Amino acid sequence: MADNPTLEGTYGRGDNGHLDASGPREVVYCHQCDNEWWRDGESLTCPRCQHEFTEIVTPDNDPRPIREEPPPHPLHNHNPWAGSDSDPEDADIEEHVTHGPGGSIFFTQTIRTSRPHGTSGNQGRRDAASQGDPDNVMAGFQNMLGSLMGPDFRAGQAGRSGPETLYPQNTFGGGGIRIGGDSGPRITGGRFTFTTGPLRPRNADEPQPADGARVDDLATYDSLPSRTSPMGLPPLVIILRNPPDQVARIVGSIFGAMAPSDEHRPRNNNPNRMPPGLEALFASILNAGSAHSGDAVYSQEALDQIISTLMEQHPTSNAPGPASPAAIAALPKKKLDEKMLGPEGKGECSVCMDDVEIGDEMALLPCSHWFHEACAGAWLSEHNTCPICRKGIEGDSTSPNVRRSSQTGSPAHSDPQPRSASVSSPRLSPTNTSNSSGRNEARLDAIRNIGRPTPAEEYQANRRLHVVGQPRQDQTADESRTGGYSTSIFSRPRDRDDRYESQRDTRGASHTSSSDDSRGSRRSSQSGGQGTGTGPLAWLRDRFGGNPRRHD
């Protein structure tokens, strides 16, 4: 029969762009590739993709997607203000159902208690062809809210200055939606219900429940789950009950936060994206302080709870960031001695809990806690804290920034004889500078340091940083010496390095971590102070001025 072109003409593509399945020829549809073809006695394998996931199409059972225009929107011809009110004394009840993306259903019920002020006839009418467009779904949604809100509602109440018309005329086929104009009735009570699942919303035109009570309160929906839903699934019902001005405020702020929908905005870059503002809208709905308590209704408190749960499920969200690889690599290594292990000469690495002995080489943190190099590195590469006392290894004395800021940020350091100056006036020592440098600054610095001249040089610099850092740890005990070290290091000729290193070695073991702990917390509260202020300037000077660090 395939060779009969007349049949093709008679039973060809129908109005909907599909092959006509009601004719004598069997139409087969492939679910895999959406292909359809006349079967004509052939096998059911799809000729295009060779899959067998196919189905014979009958008029009663047509699995093919609708290609052409979707059915008109439920509000297609809806015109809430076109007719005259049958009974001005009685509240008008309106219920709108809108099918949103992803099978969700928007349901609104509106009660009007006063007459319209006179409207033009075509408000609310939309182009049915635009229904598939997420933007238009959103626009329709706004329209619903607009009619819900009445004249009190003005988009952008949250301070947005822009056109009153959220969607320009050409967004809709006919008649732009003007939210908050003079037309439209005033609404004394507004509710908004968002439902998912196979909920079949009550329709005002359908027979009312047996008690005959007028549906003037969505409280009736609180009992909805008891109504048999077609698929036996419990519906999710979220109900907001607010005075209109409050609703207007909430929704106004939502839409105020939306990007203006003007012609400059590229439309539909990604049709699958959620319409702008919808996400925020849902968030705000769930967020509303006056939301009902109940099975599926969340108060602010409940929302907080959810958010904190979510935060906990993202383990590294608020934990300290990693230490820079350079700083980790630059940690001094030290062989364990009796002082570090105590009288028994035994100990364990607090990370892997393996026993260690005198003579084992360990990585020594600025807080004097020691670990296997691998153990310390594994933790520090995720969090810049000591595994025991949580003190950072950089962001303080070990931060390159501090060195720079102490070098250029304080007048004391321009002194040609910094060491003697500091010793004679310890208060000028850059203690504040070093303490005030925050972790962020240190991390910024790590980024800045990328692309510095040579790794070897960088390493050398970092090593010297540690040299600086060490004496500073016990500055409470020995402040004047500390000040001297931290300032003098920069003008120190290279040949002093060795002597300096040996000094550090003899001093390193005597540090106690307890005093460091308290200082660590103090430091963190000071972060973002002076160090941050001088950081960028110092950095610029460092980059574009002479870099004293290169005088190796």
Residue number, 380 or 467, with CB nearest to another protein: 380
Query: Residue 335 is encoded by which pair of tokens?
Result: 């062989």
CB of 194 to another protein, least distance (A): 24
Two structure tokens written together for 32: 């895999």
Assign 18 to helix, strand or coil: coil
252-255-260 Cα angle (round to 5)? 135
Nearer to another protein, 350 or 480 (CB): 350
> Which CB, 274 or 303, lies closer to another protein?
303
Spatial distance between the Cα atoms of 235 and 296, rounded to a whole number of angstroms: 10
Taking CA atoms, 189 is separated from 244, 251, 281, in Å, by: 6, 15, 20
- State in angstroms the smallest separation of the CB of 319 from another protein: 4
Q: In terms of CB distance, is 308 or 476 closer to another protein?
A: 308
Binding site for another protein (CB under 8 A): 301, 305, 308-309, 312, 315-320, 350-354, 375, 378-379, 382, 385-388, 390
Cβ of 516: how many Cβ atoms within 10 Å? 21
Closest to another protein by CB, 179 or 286: 286
Residue among 145 and 356 whose Cβ is closer to another protein: 356
Output 226 or 318, the one with its CB closest to another protein.
Answer: 318
For the four alpha carbons of 511, 512, 518 and 524, in that order, the dihedral sign comes to positive
DSSP helix/strand/coil, 371: strand
Which is nearer to another protein, 293 or 506 (by Cβ)?
Answer: 293
Min dist CB 418 to another protein, Å, is 37
Which residues have CB under 8 Å from 85's CB, separation 6+?
Answer: 92, 115, 116
Minimum CB distance to another protein smaller for 169 or for 308: 308
Min dist. Cβ of residue 384 to another protein (A) = 12
Least spacing, CB of residue 179 vs another protein, in Å: 37
For residues 380 and 320, the answer to whether their CB atoms sit within 8 Å is: no
290 vs 381, which CB is nearer to another protein? 381
Nearest 5 degrees, angle CA 215-CA 218-CA 220?
A: 75
Do 135 and 168 contact (CB within 8 A), yes or no?
no
| Total length of the chain | 552
> Regarding beta strands 92-99 and 105-112, do their DSSP bridges make them parallel or antiparallel, or are they unpaired?
antiparallel
Which of 360, 366, 352 is closest to 434 using CA atoms?
Answer: 366
Give backbone dihedrals phi and psi of 10, rounded to 5 degrees, phi first. Answer: -70, -45
DSSP 151: G
Closer residue to another protein, CB minimum distance, 176 or 321: 321
Q: Would you say 91 or 236 has its CB closer to another protein? A: 236
Longest dimension (CA), the chain: 110
Burial of 167 (0-12, 13-18, 19+ CB in 10 A): buried
Nearest-approach distance from CB 316 to another protein, in angstroms: 6
Adjacent-strand bridge partners of 191: 109, 241
Residue 96 neighbours by CB distance under 10 Å: 20
Smallest separation, CB 299 to another protein (Å)? 9
- Minimum Å distance from CB 298 to another protein? 12
- Rounded Cα–Cα distance for residues 19 and 25 (Å): 10
- Please, what is the minimum distance in Å from the beta carbon of residue 353 to another protein? 5
Minimum CB distance to another protein smaller for 23 or for 320: 320
Q: What's the distance, Cα to Cα, between the start and end of the chain in Å?
A: 91
| Three-state helix/strand/coil letters over 399-411 | CHHHHHHHHHCCH
The nearer residue to another protein, 369 or 549, going by C-beta atoms, is 369
3-class secondary-structure state, position 60: coil
Query: Nearest distance from residue 357's CB to another protein, in Å?
Result: 17
Q: How far is the CB of 304 from another protein (least distance, A)?
A: 9
Shortest spacing between CB 378 and another protein, in angstroms: 6
Is residue 355 within a helix (H) or strand (E), and if so which, with residue range?
strand 355-357
Q: Which two tokens stand for residue 141?
A: 């949604």
DSSP string, 422-485: HHH-GGGSTHHHHHH--HHHHHHHHHHHTT-S-HHHHHHHHHHHHHHHHHHHTTTT-HHHHHHH
User: Whole-number minimum distance, CB 30 to another protein, in Å?
Assistant: 44
Q: Which of 491, 469, 529 is nearest to 413 (CA)?
A: 491
SS3 249: helix
CB of 309 to another protein, least distance (A): 7
